[in-house]
Structure 1
Amino acid sequence: MTRPTALIADDEPLLRDALARQLAQAWPELDVVAQARNGREAVKLFEAKRPDVCFLDVHMPGLSGVEAAREIGRRAHLVFVTAYDHYAVQAFAHGVLDYLVKPVEPARLADTVARLKERLGGAQPALNTEALLQQLSAQLAQLKGGSAVPAPLRWLRAQVGQTLRMIAVEEIDYLRSDTKYTLIAWRGDGGQPGEALVRLPLRELAAQLDPEQFAQVHRSVVVNLRAISHVTRGDNETADIHLRGRREVLPVSRSYLHLFRQM
């Protein structure tokens, strides 16, 4: 019996490798025949390898995973991988396309594998997904143009030594600008404080955070409001934020003192 084959497309090499390892455990019979760094490479490798299943990251530079899926069409079974539940709710509730939310949970992957095995037992993908893919592609174009607001960021990828950490945004205590990087201070396993640098400017990260939970208190600091223990006023123009379980004291500049007027 011929082994089923798959392609994985993600612009993050560590995430590609991580998904390949998870698939090796959840679906030992599956042969990952290609890994792509972007949508264009995914289409090119698909034409060369013709895998049965394509795992496509929604957000990739150049050609997105959705746009790549439109070119692949009904010639393969499609599974989208996304960090945003926004797409899961709006696009995949139809049950036509399958998806995985980063970080990929073993239970969810097992369910997806079971559905794929069942579909592979039939003929070619029978459902016409072109209309839905066109709708998804239009949504992505709107997001790129700034005419729509995506769901708040839920997970953040950060390099800690040789390890790629997936940090839940709700576990972040604060973010501080550090030249070309942003320092992320979060609660790790067992509530232990942890820190990591990400290659994204604070402004870009702040725009993706839930404004109900995070507030900018200084041009170089964004804080999780739930992590605040208390705030002390220094003078009429500044204040200091004290965090639960941390020694760091975060500055509040004059421009943001209005957030704490009730003190």
Structure 2
Amino acid sequence: MSTPAPSTTLVRCVIADDERLMREQLRARLAEVWPALEIVAEARNGQEAVELVAQHRPDLVFLDIRMPGLTGVDAARQIAQLPTGDDWDGCEIVFITAYDEYAVEAFEQGVADYVLKPAERERLAVTVERIRKRLAQRRGDEATADPAGSTSASRAAQPLQQLLHRLAAQMGQPPSYLQWIQASVGQSIQMIPVDEVLFFVSDEKYTRVQTPQVEALIRKPIKELVDELDPKRFWQIHRSTLVNVNAIAGVSRDFRGRQLVAIKDRPEKLEVSRSYTHLFKGM
């Protein structure tokens, strides 16, 4: 297989592996198949990887899937939740693994990629070509972001989270849930802690995110949020509604017998559909 053609666009990269020889081997192979790639930092563990990505804001990160302390999967979750901005829209992720068992189908669907240890030149060249195409697509979409901040990167976030959940399950790790919501507030994009959200309500295009102080919009349907939020903290009470259990002030019935959830210090009454009335049995 031939080496990918050189690119005129600088691509910056972080490598994370707890084995020094593996980092050196990967660096050497990358120099062969992608000479223009700039490796800006190397991490020895998952926590260092998150800190270095936050510091250098690279286009690409190679993560060893098994590292002491914070694993590559855990690090990927935290990296995916780092605040983005005008000069950085997140990064592509490639997992490094010594085990074929983690080369699941989702890797082949384009939300992430993998390299088996030790990195072979031919397989790494395939990964490089995929990454370059995704980076070109990401950069091409930056100028066409919609009002809710949706780009190719943000649209890929949900499949990536699904992949990370599956990898965590394969590795016997407990599930990790969404901690931040990136949402449109007026003309700006804000990072909203999930703990502050009172409820989510979807319509055809957007989902309303309500906190005690802020009403924001995201382009993520309830069916995706259900998979990303802690089910003990957020209950689905309707196909279009998720509510923070701690924000529930009480439940009442209207003249038609429908259950309505009252939210603390808010005027809204959120309807409970028939499929979810069992959540408030006896009320």
| TM-score relative to the length of structure 2 | 0.48
Is residue 163 of structure 1 aligned with residue 188 of structure 2? Answer: yes
Residue type of the alignment partner of 1:227: A
Unaligned runs of 5+ in 1: 10-41, 58-63, 74-86, 105-129
Q: Check conservation: 2:165, 2:175, Cα contact below 8 A.
A: no
Which residue matches 2:176?
151
Change (3 A) 1:140 1:195: farther
Change (3 A) 1:49 1:175: same
Residue type of the alignment partner of 1:259: L
1:196 corresponds, among 195, 205, 216, to 216
SS at match of 1:231: strand
- Cα deviations across residues 4-49 of structure 1 (Å, max 9, x unaligned)? x99369xxxxxxxxxxxxxxxxxxxxxxxxxxxxxxxx99xx7425
Shift of 1:180: 2.0
Shift of 1:169: 0.9
Change (3 A) 1:178 1:228: same
Percent identity of paired positions between Structure 1 and Structure 2: 32
- Cα deviations across residues 41-75 of structure 1 (Å, max 9, x unaligned)? x99xx742524327559xxxxxx95xx527xx9xx
Shift of 1:165: 1.1
| TM-score relative to the length of structure 1 | 0.51
1:205 corresponds, among 197, 213, 225, to 225
Is residue 93 of structure 1 aligned with residue 118 of structure 2? Answer: no
Instruction: For 1:26-65, list aligned pairs within 5 A.
Output: 47-53=35-41
Change (3 A) 1:205 1:137: farther
Say which is worse superposed, 132-141 or 230-239, in terms of deviation: 132-141
Which residue matches 1:14?
none
SS at match of 1:133: strand
Which residue matches 1:7?
12
Q: Check conservation: 1:237, 1:254, Cα contact below 8 A.
A: no
Shift of 1:258: 1.0
Which residue matches 2:276?
256
Unaligned runs of 5+ in 2: 1-9, 15-29, 43-51, 84-93, 107-161
Residue type of the alignment partner of 2:40: D
Which residue matches 1:21?
none
**Bigger strand fraction:** 1
The 2-side partners of 1:239 and 1:56 are apart by 47
Shift of 1:157: 0.9
User: What number of residue pairs does the alignment pair up?
Assistant: 171
The 1-side partners of 2:241 and 2:70 are apart by 41
SS at match of 2:228: coil
The 1-side partners of 2:176 and 2:70 are apart by 19
Change (3 A) 1:140 1:261: farther
Residue type of the alignment partner of 2:97: Q
Shift of 1:163: 2.2
Residue type of the alignment partner of 2:38: R
Q: CA RMSD in A?
A: 4.4
